[in-house]
Amino acid sequence: MSTKAPNPVDKYVGSRVRMRRIMLGMSQEKLGEALGLTFQQVQKYEKGTNRVGASRLQQISEILQVPVSFLFDGGPSGAVNGSAFAEGASPAYVSDFLATSEGLALTRAFTRIADSKMRRSIVELVEQIASRDGPDHR
């Protein structure tokens, strides 16, 4: 018995749910409680294993304080086979970064900085460091 691969749209929407949940510092358990679900069900949504229905999408967007459209922004286009991605889709490295402890810590701390000029300065600093080290330096 072979398992069916998740639909690209379901997988993308799930990754956006995960990204926003992490940005808010919310656990899967907390989101699950707010939805009346187990954290395992939230995991399945985030991986794209289970589809999220329309009313559940609305509920999730309210809990995560974003419009429903946020969950689809930059995702797979309306192509018939569902495999084509719209221009500006979030590259895999973004979700890979957010899945690391450093990425999560940096994202949480950065989103707590209220001063937009300070945030811009931090971005510029990181860009300067990255350009000095080059793409292959680790």
Helices (H), the chain: 8-23, 28-35, 39-47, 54-63, 92-98, 101-111, 116-133
DSSP character at residue 1: -
Q: pTM for this one?
A: 0.61
Residue 38: which residues within 8 A CB-CB, separation 6 or more?
A: 32
Per-residue pLDDT in tens (0 to 9) along the chain, 138 residues: 556 787 888 988 998 899 889 888 899 999 999 999 999 999 999 999 999 999 999 999 999 999 998 888 877 764 434 344 444 445 667 767 766 778 878 888 888 888 889 989 998 998 899 888 766 555
Please give the CATH topology (third level) of the domain spanning 1-90: 434 Repressor (Amino-terminal Domain) (1.10.260)
Helix axes 8-23, 101-111, angle to 10 degrees: 60
Torsion of CA 135, 46, 35, 22, to 10 degrees: -10
Phi, psi values for residue 83, rounded to 5°: -95, -15
Structure tokens at 116: 């937009």
